[in-house]
Each structure stands twice: as C-alpha cells, then as structure tokens.
Amino acid sequence: MSGTTGPNADESTIRDCENCVAPAEAFSVIANETRLSILEALWQAPDRPVSFSELRREVGMRDSAQFNYHLKQLTDHFVVQTGDGYDFRQAGKKVVRAILAGSFNEHPEMGPFEVTGTCAECGSNLQAYYDDEMLAIECTDCERNHGQYPFPPGGLNDRTREEIMDAFNQRVRHLHCLAADGVCPECNGRMDTTVTRDTEDYLGLEVRVDHECQQCRHQLYSAVGLSLLDQSDVVTFHREHGVDLCTTPYWDLAWCVSDQHTTVLSDDPWKLLVEIPLDDEVLSVTLDGDLTVLEMERTCESASAEEGAQAISD
C-alpha cells in the first residue's frame, strides 16, 4: 500500500518500498503464539539487543531450529538482527503495546459510576460508564453527553475509578491537542479541522468542532471551547484565579462541553466568541473557523454591570 503524501513530499522517498508487506500478510506473521512470545520476551529483556540463545531461553523453546524458523518470520518487519543480537523495529513495539493495552484480547465493561463535577446543562450529578473500549460521561438527570472517547482497556488496570477518570481527562486533552495541530492520534496522518452545525445532535450543541483524519478517517467531535484548554492565555487566566486548568476535569468546565458560553458572530466565514467567567472577571476569546485566536479581552463583570446600569439610567 503506497504512503499518503503531502503537497511538498518527496514521492520517491515515501512511495517506494521494496520490503513492504500487505496488511493481511503482516497480521498472519504475528498470528502465532510462539512469535508473540518472542516479541514479549524481547520487550521484557532488561537490555537490548538480545542474543539468540538468551531469547530462546526466555521463550522456553528447546528446539533451536524451530525457534530459529519463527524468529526469522519476525525479522525485517517486526524485529531487526544486529551484530549483538535482536532488537525491535517500530512495528514490533506497536504489536506489544497493543497487547499490553488490551486492544486485542480484553473487552471489559464498567459502570455506570459517579464522577466529580456537575452537568453543564442542568447542574445535576455526572456519571461515567465504559463499554467497547469507549469511556463516556453523561448527566444522571437530563442524560446530556459530556464526551465519549476511546480509552484502551489497559488504562483500567491497577487504577481506582478516580485514577481512571484522571487518566481519561489527560487522554482527551492529548487527543484534541494532536487533532487541532493536524496530527491524527491514531495513525499520525493529516487531520483536518472544521466547524459545523451539529445537525446530527452528537453533543447537543449549536455548533461543534469536527476533526477527521484524511488517512484512516478517525474522527473526534467537541464543543468549540475544548480547543482552548491548552491555550497559554487561558491557562494563565485560570492560574491567576487559583485554578489549575491542566488538572481540572474538562467535563466540569461548561465552556468546554456546552454552547452556553459560545456565541456565533458569523458563519460565513466562521467567527466564534467563547466567554470564560471566573470570579468577577470574564475572558472573551474570538476564534475563526480554523480555531485560530483572533482577539482576546479580559473584562470585569462588576464594571460591565455598572456600565449597563449607567446606560439604563441615561
């Protein structure tokens, strides 16, 4: 399968691949218990490269010829042979990581269970549940969706529910940060970002942000405000009000999961205003359709109220 190229890519470098194998053939190579054991032994080794004899001993196979046959099947595509022994290629590491993540062999379910935070719509409690490698958060009363994203089964291991939610919070931030930067979190392909009307009612929003990979078609959806979670001025604004935005659950920030603080100033072209209130201040952020910050202004709510009262009296 040829690689996907960008407008300035050197096609001769990206597309030519004398040793490439078809996906079906690659999966057939690792669909063997002994070969998976070899990869796992290589992963567990304290130092790499690992010699042939040491690797065979760790796998526990007495027949040297049979072991050599299976190792040769992995070599070049998943494992590389060096002068000092055997080491991983990136594809081999990905196979082991996928196994450790539980993506191939684990299908747990969890919940629903209560999580910290309140519904952005009605103020009721929130709950989370896990199914089909997806973790979702919704309101216990109005059932409003506060996000549903992939979370590999391995992320549930050796964690309390609170720790799972902390990890999920960081993962969602990471997913959207990569997507907004144009990098697919699944395959590293080119990710396109668009603002659209939420006609399918995925998140109960007037407008939503869509991220879609042009290579693997992976998709992410969110409210407009979620794109501002790692914006330096927004982070500073919260810090000055005693809030650590880096650890605050995104689902507990109304401007990240709802439209109540978002105003559509124009839709041709898109121009959006997100207003973030904290204590007696409001941070107003204006963005375009690419989620580029156009303007930013901090105002005092009390001052605005006084100006409004003065205008009425006049």
Q: Where are the domains of the chain?
A: 11-101, 110-225, 227-312
Phi-psi region at 244: left, alpha or beta (left = phi > 0; alpha = psi -120 to 50): beta
pLDDT at site 108: 78
Average pLDDT in the 149-175 region? 92
Q: Is residue 49 very low, low, confident or very high in pLDDT (cuts 50, 70, 90)? A: very high
- Fold that domain 11-101 belongs to in CATH: Arc Repressor Mutant, subunit A (1.10.10)
- Does 308 have pLDDT greater than 80? no
Angle between helices 90-101 and 33-44 (to 10 degrees): 100
Average pLDDT in the 180-198 region? 91
- Does 27 have pLDDT greater than 70? no
Whether the CB-CB separation of 146 and 138 falls below 8 Å is answered with yes
- Does 104 have pLDDT greater than 60? no
pLDDT per residue as tens digits for the range 50-59: 999 999 999 9
Q: For 126-137, give the secondary structure using H, E and C.
A: EEEEEECCEEEE
Phi-psi region at 155: left, alpha or beta (left = phi > 0; alpha = psi -120 to 50): alpha
Q: How many beta carbons lie within 10 A of that of residue 297, not counting itself?
A: 11
pLDDT per residue as tens digits for the range 244-288: 999 999 999 999 999 999 999 999 999 999 999 999 999 999 999
Q: What is the CA radius of gyration of the chain?
A: 25
pLDDT at site 297: 97
- Does 29 have pLDDT greater than 90? no
- 8's CB contacts (< 8 A; 6+ apart) are none
What does the longest C-alpha to C-alpha distance in the chain come to? Answer: 96
Q: Is residue 173 very low, low, confident or very high in pLDDT (cuts 50, 70, 90)? A: very high
pLDDT at site 248: 95
pLDDT at site 111: 82
Average pLDDT in the 179-207 region? 87
Query: pLDDT > 90: what percent of the chain?
Result: 62
Rounded to two decimals, what is the model's pTM?
0.70
pLDDT at site 96: 81
Please provide the DSSP assignment of the chain as one string: -PPP--TT--HHHHH--TT---HHHHHHHH-SHHHHHHHHHHHH-SSSSB-HHHHHHHHT---HHHHHHHHHHHBTTTEEEETTEEEE-HHHHHHHHHHHHTTTT----EEEEEEEEE-TTT--EEEEEEETTEEEEEETTT--EEEEEE--GGGGTT--HHHHHHHHHHHHHHHHHHHHTTB-TTT--BEEEEEEE-TT-SSS-SEEEEEEETTT--EEEE-GGGGGTT-HHHHHHHHHTT--TTTS-GGG-HHHH-STTEEEEEETTEEEEEEEEETTEEEEEEEETT--EEEEEEEEHHHHHHHHHHHHH-
How far the first Cα of the chain sits from its last, in Å, is: 72
pLDDT at site 2: 38
Please tell me the distance from the alpha carbon of residue 262 to that of residue 181, in angstroms, as a whole number.
22
Average pLDDT in the 183-206 region? 86
pLDDT per residue as tens digits for the range 105-144: 556 788 899 999 999 999 999 999 999 889 999 999 999 9
Please tell me the distance from the alpha carbon of residue 131 to that of residue 135, in angstroms, as a whole number.
7
Mean pLDDT of the chain: 85
